[in-house]
């Protein structure tokens, strides 16, 4: 609809805050592609409306709202935009996106990424992703998207982990940040993903394989001595001891709850269900008498039902909970990063020493740590066997073996299992 009497006073008196039966468009005379839009509630805005030659779709850009923008200002802005569009110098739709992106912060991008991507992941993988998103939010959330550079990402997010030699975590955060900025690039929030300019790899599976720390009996004893001689909280001593006895992954241990303890009906053995998120299965582990003693002591300190808790009785917020303690213990002081004992070395020690004892078949030890030993064919004929009795033999021997190492070091077992948590 066109009116020849479209002035500031006409808009104010006839359209502004005047309810309409439908949304109405009024062509501003003599100005190409400029319209006055009046909503059903009487909200008045000036819009630039044109056909995008690239997409062959009609595109609308809001220039401003009346009365904040007068009609003469809207005409001048529309003339300038049309001139730039005719010359091919500027795509008005791109200008619209750029102006919008200047107002978008990394916090906004993370909210959008979580809703459109992370919440569609499998429930078991969401907590790890959300934790990484929180770390990125804490470091970069206040930065506008358009000024984010590779240097900012490195100095504000990654360098801190590199200085603490948490290379695997730095690598993971770089990977997730790359996914997030790829998302931003796909949605044209940025013209180029800055993460791709970061050359550091930090840590690769090849590094991990090269630097595997296989603890034999001679190396296990210094670890046990460090656990029970160093000045660390008693609950941490028990947590590290239990991690060694169970031979499970760090993430599985951090997610372990006391409600996961069960009594196996067929064998009457006390067991614990290990949720193996890495392979998406449950591994039922029979508990040695030593593991039961440690669990009973740790349960008195837990306030939220988790086995691993802080001094406040709640779950640790950092995935580096054990690494932070281990790095300060005598076993690791003065050691280079590749020679330091990590939580995963506890699992390696269990597997390595059990195999070297030659007391158990290799496949039984693999069952204890949750490896799948069935072929693709055999999986079709039976559910995953639990082998409780076979696994109990391994864990009973392992608990006694660790006790023998402690006795050889001069520790009194009665004192070891009666510390105050």
State yes or no: cis peptide before 88, omega within 30 of 0: no
pLDDT value at residue 350: 94
- Calpha distance 220→349 (Å, rounded): 7
pLDDT value at residue 262: 92
Report long-range pairs for 207-213 (Cβ below 8 Å, ≥24 apart): 207/167, 208/168, 210/338, 211/337, 211/338, 211/339, 212/348, 213/339, 213/340, 213/341, 213/342, 213/345, 213/348
Q: Say which residue the tokens 């059903």 belong to.
A: 40
pLDDT value at residue 380: 44
How many beta carbons lie within 10 A of that of residue 101, not counting itself? 19
pLDDT value at residue 381: 46
- The neighbouring-strand residues paired with 48 are 34, 61
User: pTM to 2 decimals?
Assistant: 0.57
Question: Could you state, in chain order, the average pLDDT of each consecutive group of 10 residues for the chain (421 residues)?
Answer: 74 89 89 90 88 74 87 90 71 55 80 86 76 92 88 92 80 92 86 89 63 73 95 96 94 92 88 80 91 94 91 85 92 83 91 93 89 54 67 96 96 94 74
Q: What is the pLDDT of residues 124-177, one digit of tens each?
A: 678 778 888 999 999 999 898 888 899 999 999 998 888 877 777 888 899 999
How many beta carbons lie within 10 A of that of residue 46, not counting itself? 25
Q: What residue ranges define each of the domains in the chain, with the CATH number in brackets?
A: 8-91 (3.30.160.390), 106-210 (1.10.150.130), 217-416 (1.10.443.10)
Which residues make Cβ contacts (< 8 Å) with residue 150, sequence separation at least 6? 194, 195, 197, 198
pLDDT value at residue 139: 92
pLDDT value at residue 298: 94
pLDDT value at residue 214: 63
What b/e readout covers 122-140, taking b as 16+ CB neighbours within 10 angstroms?
Answer: eeeeeebbeebbebbbebb
- Calpha distance 373→367 (Å, rounded): 7
Side-by-side strand order, sheet with 24-27:
24-27, 34-38, 44-52, 57-65
Please tell me what DSSP assigns to residue 306: B
């Amino acid at each position: 609809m066109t009116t020849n009497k479209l002035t500031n006073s006409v808009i104010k008196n006839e359209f502004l805050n005047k309810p309409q039966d439908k949304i109405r468009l009024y062509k501003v005379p003599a100005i190409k592609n400029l319209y006055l839009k009046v909503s059903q509630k009487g909200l008045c805005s000036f819009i630039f409306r044109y056909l995008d030659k690239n997409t062959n779709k009609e595109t609308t850009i809001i220039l401003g709202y009346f009365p904040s923008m007068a009609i003469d200002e809207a005409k001048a802005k529309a003339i300038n935009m049309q001139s730039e569009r005719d010359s091919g110098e500027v795509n008005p739709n791109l200008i619209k996106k750029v102006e919008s992106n200047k107002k978008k912060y990394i916090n906004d991008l993370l909210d959008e990424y979580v809703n459109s991507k992370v919440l569609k992941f499998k429930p078991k993988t969401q907590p790890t992703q959300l934790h990484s998103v929180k770390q990125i939010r804490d470091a970069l959330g206040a930065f506008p998207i358009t000024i984010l550079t590779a240097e900012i990402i490195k100095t504000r997010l990654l360098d801190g982990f590199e200085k603490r030699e948490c290379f695997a975590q730095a690598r993971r955060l770089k990977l997730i940040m790359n996914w997030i900025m790829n998302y931003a690039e796909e949605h044209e929030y940025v013209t180029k993903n800055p993460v791709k300019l970061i050359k550091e790899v930090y840590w690769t599976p090849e590094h991990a394989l090269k630097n595997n720390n296989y603890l034999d009996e001679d190396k296990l004893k210094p670890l046990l001595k460090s656990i029970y001689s160093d000045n660390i909280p008693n609950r941490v001593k028990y947590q590290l001891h239990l991690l060694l006895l169970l031979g499970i992954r760090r993430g599985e241990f951090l997610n372990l709850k006391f409600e996961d303890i069960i009594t196996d009906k067929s064998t009457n053995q006390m067991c614990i269900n290990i949720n193996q998120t890495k392979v998406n299965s449950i591994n039922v582990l029979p508990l040695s008498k030593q593991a039961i003693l440690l669990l009973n002591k740790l349960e008195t300190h837990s306030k939220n039902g988790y086995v691993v808790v802080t001094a406040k009785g709640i779950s640790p917020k950092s995935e580096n909970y054990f690494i932070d303690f281990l790095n300060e213990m005598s076993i690791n002081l003065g050691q280079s990063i590749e020679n330091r004992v990590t939580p995963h070395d506890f699992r390696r020690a269990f597997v390595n020493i059990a195999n070297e004892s030659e007391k158990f078949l290799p496949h039984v030890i693999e069952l204890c740590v949750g490896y799948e030993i069935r072929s693709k064919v055999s999986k079709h004929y039976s559910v995953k066997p639990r082998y409780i009795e076979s696994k109990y033999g391994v864990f009973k021997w392992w608990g006694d073996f660790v006790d023998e190492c402690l006795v050889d070091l001069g520790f009194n077992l009665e004192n070891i299992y009666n510390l105050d948590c």
